[in-house]
Amino acid sequence: MAESIFDMAPVTEPERQYYFIENARVLLGRKEEELHHPLSFHVTTFGCQMNARDSEKMTGILADMGLMESENETESDIVLFNTCTIRDNANQKFYGHLGTLGGKNQRNRDRIVAVCGCMAQEPECVEKLSKSYKFVNIIFGTHNIYKLAELICRHLEGEEHVVDVWDKPGEIVEDIPSIRKYPFKSGVNIMFGCNNYCTYCIVPYVRGNERSREAKEIIRECEKLASDGVKEVMLLGQNVNSYGNGIEGSISFPELLREVEKVDGIERIRFMTSHPKDLSDELIQVMKDSKKICRHIHLPLQSGSTRILKAMNRRYTREQYLELAMKIRREIPDIAITTDIIVGFPGETTEDVDDTVDMIHRVKYDGAFTFVYSPRTGTPAASMDGRQPKEWIKREFDRVLTAVQDESKEMAARFLGNTETVLVEDINEQDPGLVTGRMSNNLMVHFPGDRSLIGKLVDVKLTECKGFYYMGER
Ligand code: SAH
Ligand code: SF4
Ligand code: F3S
């Protein structure tokens, strides 16, 4: 029997993947000749910053295989969906989208459709895709995105349906190609997975246990990004405050921040997400001393009621959270504190929501994402009693939302008249005479300017507060 490309593949990573990228390039080149048009790809990303970063890596792999990135999903030859399953509406959105594509898929039989990410880690989802969406050719999970080229080779070499989902994470593979969405800012994974098992949350099940990257790899990546022109990095992890746990001799998160601060060319440092239970005084001190760490902290509250927090397994009380938030406000007065809140957790009462609303007024959040509780299969909360009816949830959700909006409007207004440094991100969508950028505290500012400012840090005077954003001038 003739030797296949799989027999000759290197066993070590990332060499193995570079080998498959080369092979995919040859195989796709042949397909291109058959079809008489250059092949293209499209990646659709759902969910959080982790997924966004994973998609940048997969985009890098696809581009290295010689494919062109296309804006047009239905016309693309390889269509990849990186999915999210944090709440049921995320799943429904994806199935709806996939159904529409399936209808159009009939016209493009040569197209390769691939689904990966958090939904693919759930067996029910793989089953549903295999049964009802037969045009999906490749399914893989969150732990093996670096193998995209290999999976595509398997399909190109004759495997009609390739399914490769790992129930546990494998090694952390470094040095995979990546193409960033923005030339001037980038996410940097510092850890993967989560060990916290909040009772409502699916992430530990679909992303695996918590694993930190080596500090020297993180610094090396930041240095490389800086030499590529990146000015802002966002350090990513489900709970960055527990960075380094489990690596012998590892540095802590505040120490890591100090190291990233030393990287020349990096002007701004952000991070997501900070679990309140592990936020140390050292972190507050490092933020306070830093010239580069942005004046913003995302500190998910989830609920203002100690009873509900306990049922959620958040491991802090209402008092502990409040004390922490007040300490941060005291030490770093110009900081923005944002949060996540869930309404409708099993057993939640109107009094519990009162506690949440009270907390919103005490902390005075600069911004908050409010979510309706969504039961996730396999999580402890999914089998808890005491779910409230829809009308109750709608009413209480609105109450929380109003409190958040009132506070954040007031908080945003406190910067009027200041001159702030803004990283310009884009031309304003509505008015091409304006550019849009972000202040250190993450608020958006629109001001007169042109394309040449994109990616630059400029000083802008805040002349008018529009509620949740500013108008300004240089
Ligand atoms: N690791 C982060 C959160 C990641 S998920 C942290 O612990 O802070 C982002 C947000 O989604 C969570 O903060 C929570 O508010 C919300 N969320 C997670 N699971 C949910 C569920 N089952 N229903 C509704 N909201 C949920
Ligand atoms: Fe989910 Fe909790 Fe982990 Fe955040 S800390 S990802 S909410 S389990
Ligand atoms: Fe969604 Fe997975 Fe992120 S479930 S929120 S994409 S970790």
pLDDT digits (tens, 9 = 90+) for 167-191: 999 989 988 899 999 999 999 999 9
Q: Tens digits of per-residue pLDDT, 429-452?
A: 999 999 999 999 999 999 999 999
Instruction: Looking at the structure, tell me whether residues 139 and 218 fall in a common domain.
Output: no
Instruction: Looking at the structure, tell me whether residues 407 and 428 fall in a common domain.
Output: no
Instruction: Looking at the structure, tell me whether residues 65 and 141 fall in a common domain.
Output: yes
This prediction's pTM: 0.95
With bands split at pLDDT 50, 70 and 90, how would you rate the model's confidence at 105? low
When pLDDT is averaged across residues 231-259 and rounded to a whole number, the result is 95
Is 5 domain-assigned? no
Residues at CB less than 6 angstroms from ligand 1: 86-87, 200-201, 203, 238-239, 273, 275, 300, 302, 340, 342, 371, 373-374, 376
When pLDDT is averaged across residues 124-131 and rounded to a whole number, the result is 96
**Distance from the alpha carbon of residue 287 to the mean position of ligand 2, in angstroms:** 23
Q: For residue 62, give both structure tokens.
A: 């696809």
**Distance from the alpha carbon of residue 363 to the mean position of ligand 1, in angstroms:** 19
Is 170 domain-assigned? no
Is 371 domain-assigned? yes
CB 191 within 8 A of CB 243: yes
Residues at CB less than 6 angstroms from ligand 2: 194, 196-198, 201, 203-204, 238-239, 275
CB 342 within 8 A of CB 404: no
Q: Which residue, 139, 164, 189, sits at the end of a domain?
A: 164
With bands split at pLDDT 50, 70 and 90, how would you rate the model's confidence at 118? very high
Instruction: Looking at the structure, tell me whether residues 404 and 422 fall in a common domain.
Output: no
Q: Tens digits of per-residue pLDDT, 318-367?
A: 999 999 999 999 999 999 999 999 999 999 999 999 999 999 999 999 99
When pLDDT is averaged across residues 136-159 and rounded to a whole number, the result is 97
Q: Which residue, 389, 412, 435, sits at the end of a domain?
A: 412
When pLDDT is averaged across residues 79-83 and rounded to a whole number, the result is 97
With bands split at pLDDT 50, 70 and 90, how would you rate the model's confidence at 101? confident
With bands split at pLDDT 50, 70 and 90, how would you rate the model's confidence at 100? confident
Query: Whose alpha carbon is nearest atom 7 of ligand 3?
Result: 203
With H, G, I as helix, E, B as strand and everything else as coil, classify residue 296. Answer: strand
**Distance from the alpha carbon of residue 381 to the mean position of ligand 1, in angstroms:** 13
Instruction: Looking at the structure, tell me whether residues 238 and 322 fall in a common domain.
Output: no
Residue 48 in this model has a pLDDT that exceeds 80: yes
Q: For residue 404, give both structure tokens.
A: 């958040």
198 lines ligand 3 (CB under 6 A): no
Atom of ligand 1 nearest to the CA of 238: 1
Model pLDDT, residue 406: 96
**Distance from the alpha carbon of residue 142 to the mean position of ligand 2, in angstroms:** 16
Domain at 360, CATH number: 3.30.750.200
Is 111 domain-assigned? yes
Atom of ligand 1 nearest to the CA of 302: 15
Instruction: Looking at the structure, tell me whether residues 205 and 235 fall in a common domain.
Output: yes
- pLDDT above 70 as % of the chain: 98
Residue 103 in this model has a pLDDT that exceeds 90: no
Ligand nearest to the CA of 298: 1
Is 175 domain-assigned? no
**Distance from the alpha carbon of residue 357 to the mean position of ligand 3, in angstroms:** 27
**Distance from the alpha carbon of residue 86 to the mean position of ligand 1, in angstroms:** 7
Instruction: Looking at the structure, tell me whether residues 326 and 447 fall in a common domain.
Output: no
- CA–CA dist 470, 474 (Å, integer): 13
Model pLDDT, residue 104: 63
Ligand nearest to the CA of 90: 3
**Distance from the alpha carbon of residue 360 to the mean position of ligand 2, in angstroms:** 21
Residue 1 in this model has a pLDDT that exceeds 80: no
**Distance from the alpha carbon of residue 356 to the mean position of ligand 1, in angstroms:** 16
Q: Which of 292, 424, 304 is nearest to 365 (CA)?
A: 304
- CA–CA dist 305, 112 (Å, integer): 48
Ramachandran bin of 249, using left for φ above 0, alpha for ψ from -120 to 50, beta for the remaining angles: left
pLDDT, averaged across the chain: 95
Model pLDDT, residue 379: 98
With bands split at pLDDT 50, 70 and 90, how would you rate the model's confidence at 164? very high
- CA–CA dist 49, 272 (Å, integer): 9
Beta carbons within 8 Å of 16's beta carbon, 6+ residues apart: 9, 10, 150
Instruction: Looking at the structure, tell me whether residues 21 and 146 fall in a common domain.
Output: yes
Atom of ligand 1 nearest to the CA of 300: 8
Mutate to test the pocket of ligand 1, among 321, 341, 342 (most ligand atoms within 8 A of CB): 342
Write out the residue range of the structural domain in which residue 290 sits: 180-294
Q: Which residues pair with 42 in a beta bridge?
A: 79
Is 307 domain-assigned? no
Is 1 domain-assigned? no
Ligand nearest to the CA of 371: 1
- pLDDT above 90 as % of the chain: 93
With H, G, I as helix, E, B as strand and everything else as coil, classify residue 352. Answer: helix
Residue 51 in this model has a pLDDT that exceeds 60: yes
50 lines ligand 3 (CB under 6 A): yes
Model pLDDT, residue 246: 84
With bands split at pLDDT 50, 70 and 90, how would you rate the model's confidence at 255? very high
With bands split at pLDDT 50, 70 and 90, how would you rate the model's confidence at 102? confident
Domain at 231, CATH number: 3.30.750.210
Mutate to test the pocket of ligand 1, among 196, 199, 339, 371 (most ligand atoms within 8 A of CB): 371
Instruction: Looking at the structure, tell me whether residues 27 and 116 fall in a common domain.
Output: yes
Q: Tens digits of per-residue pLDDT, 275-295?
A: 999 999 999 999 999 999 999
Query: Whose alpha carbon is nearest atom 18 of ligand 1?
Result: 201
Instruction: Looking at the structure, tell me whether residues 140 and 223 fall in a common domain.
Output: no
Instruction: Looking at the structure, tell me whether residues 200 and 289 fall in a common domain.
Output: yes
Residues 414, 420, 425, 427: is their CA dihedral positive or negative?
positive
Q: Which residue, 412, 428, 444, sits at the end of a domain?
A: 412
Ligand nearest to the CA of 340: 1
Q: Which single residue is written with the structure tokens 């699916």?
A: 202
Model pLDDT, residue 349: 98
Q: Tens digits of per-residue pLDDT, 408-418?
A: 999 999 999 99
Beta carbons within 8 Å of 458's beta carbon, 6+ residues apart: 421, 422, 424, 437, 449, 474
Is 172 domain-assigned? no
Mutate to test the pocket of ligand 2, among 239, 243, 312, 341 (most ligand atoms within 8 A of CB): 239
Model pLDDT, residue 107: 59
Ligand nearest to the CA of 54: 3
When pLDDT is averaged across residues 99-128 and rounded to a whole number, the result is 87
Number of domains the chain contains: 4
237 lines ligand 3 (CB under 6 A): no
- CA–CA dist 310, 470 (Å, integer): 39
Instruction: Looking at the structure, tell me whether residues 406 and 426 fall in a common domain.
Output: no
**Distance from the alpha carbon of residue 169 to the mean position of ligand 2, in angstroms:** 17
Domain at 454, CATH number: 2.40.50
Beta carbons within 8 Å of 154's beta carbon, 6+ residues apart: 6, 162
